[in-house]
Chain A
Amino acid sequence: MSTFIEKLGNIDRRVIFVVMALAVIIPLAVRLSLPIPIDEGPSKDMYDAVDALPPGSTVLLSFDYDPSTMPELQPMAIALVQQLMTKDIKIVSLALWPMGVSLGNEALSYVSDSLGREEYVDWVNLGYKTGGGVLIVRMGSDIKSVFPEDYNGVPVDDIPVMDQINILGDFDMIISLSAGDPGIPAWVMMAGDRYDISIGGGCTAVSAPQFYPYLGTGQMVGLLGGLKGAADYETMVRIGVDDPPAGTATPGMAAQSVAHLVIMLFIVLGNISYLANKKRKGGVK
């Protein structure tokens, strides 16, 4: 028995990979469903902040990510756009990351088509501009000089949704879906603190801890962290909606939970094996 326990510490890493793969594949294949309780927290704060906006408000939605972080951020984008369009809130989108333009357009078109909304009347995608923080500062004084036309080449002066929008301060809220820099930190620094605009956001799980201080100080109104945040939002947006569209984050969280259990199991087994080995070699100090 003791030899078996000691050997647990030397499991071939490929065995661990196979077990991890199964821990992800099986819950997805059998469509395992686990409850996602919505408690008070950054995801709920984000939902409530958007929910509190009156119909007809205009929100700036910045797609600051690329396909490498799609599994986490794209479900957030779809759920957020769904909530905004359902509440008749106008969306002006842009991207600080080049590939964010097409990903944003995918989310906007998908939800817009399903809800019968109209491009240029209910939403517009201004496209990508390089510059990050410098770009945001310039937008603070004149958006139309930074984005004279949208990503299709349509002049912004001819776009109805841009009629009342000239500076960042004209937006009721800015939401950044961020996979790094430029992203949430740039919006908080150059827009939120400088022009006193509400900033909300969604980010990859890796970067979530660094944004929590912004929540405590009120520099951000809410935050969706990783796949969990996306699943929270999908769940909240679906409440009271008949036949809601399928999301990818909620089923993903069941696989996530099983994978975490497997990781914890391996950590426990590794520690048991470590202590057993240590005891055999001379006792635990």
Chain B
Amino acid sequence: MNWTVIGIWLGALLSLSLYSFLYKDNPFYKFAEHLFVGMSAGYWVIYTIMNVLIPNWWNNLVPAEGGMQPIWLIPGVLGLFMVLRVVPKLSGLSRFSLALIVGTGAGLSMTAMFQTNALAQVNGTIIALGQGGGWFDWVSNLILVAGVVCGLVYFFFSKAHTGVIGGAANVGITLLMVAFGASFGYTVMARISLLIGQTQFLLFDWLPTMGIHL
């Protein structure tokens, strides 16, 4: 029995079942959808136990060389608190674990986030118009600086958007629309890429199993 071919056929039939939704909802789609959700949940549970819990926690709590490390009971208890969310009377205990996660995450990323996504970006925007040398760089730098200023003006609501302020806000929203358009274009490309990937699988992996070579 060739397991590769069976795998390809399963993948192809499930892909076609999922695409059948484009015609209308049907039992094949429902079956594939439920199978995917169920398998994903089961897979993640096992994966988390084998690749996160056992190597990161259990192997530290009970090392292979022997002896127990009681300090590792603390993360175990905090993990247990998270699971207790499913018990209504004890669900409040999960707040201790969540507080630790949120506090650590916020403390760790606060300065890094500000540095990377705010200070560095401001620094990158404050540039000399002549930076780069050529006329193209000059125009490009002007558009960058003016675009950022106009974009900020659009979100300044303490003054009516009339006159010069209104003009700058209009330039700002126009540039924002261009950015949204570019973002939408990339999104379309991403979705088509997924279709292309699955079509390549069907054409060049599945069809050959039936003797059809394109």
Query: Known contacts A29-B214, A205-B186: does B112 contact A190 (CB below 8 Å)?
Result: yes
Shortest Cβ distance from B171 into chain A, in angstroms?
19
Rounded to whole Å, the gap between the CB of A200 and the closest CB of chain B is: 16
Q: Which residue of A is nearest B180, CB measured?
A: A209
* Contact assessment for B193 and A194 in the assembled complex, using a CB-CB cutoff below 8 Å: no
B186 close to A226 (CB less than 8 A) = yes
A121-154 residues at the B interface, CB under 8 angstroms: 128-130, 133-134, 137
* B197-A28 in contact (CB<8A): no
Within the complex, the shortest CB–CB distance from A248 to chain B, in Å, comes to: 6
How many A-B contacts if CB must be within 8 Å? 117
Interface size on A, residues (CB 8 A): 50
Q: Is A265 an interface residue (CB 8 A)?
A: no
CB distance from B51 to the nearest CB of A (A): 6
Which residues of B lie under 8 Å from residue A24 when comparing CB positions?
Answer: 192, 195-196, 199
Chain B contact residues: helix, strand, loop or mixed: helix
* Closest beta carbon of chain B to A19's beta carbon, Å: 12
- Interface residue A219 (Cβ < 8 Å from any Cβ of B): yes
Residues of chain B contacted by A285 (CB below 8 angstroms): none
Q: Is B115 an interface residue (CB 8 A)?
A: yes
Q: Are A255 and B190 touching (Cβ within 8 A)?
A: no
Residues of A within 8 A of B214 (CB): 28-29, 31
| 14 interchain pairs, CB-CB under 8 A | A29-B203, A71-B196, A71-B197, A72-B193, A72-B197, A128-B51, A129-B56, A188-B116, A189-B113, A193-B115, A204-B193, A209-B183, A216-B124, A217-B123
Other A-B pairs, 16, CB within 8 Å; known A25-B199, A209-B186: A28-B203, A28-B214, A129-B56, A133-B112, A189-B115, A193-B116, A205-B187, A213-B121, A217-B123, A226-B186, A226-B189, A251-B200, A252-B193, A255-B192, A256-B189, A260-B192
- The 6 nearest A-B residue pairs measured at CB: A71-B197, A217-B124, A205-B190, A227-B193, A205-B189, A206-B190
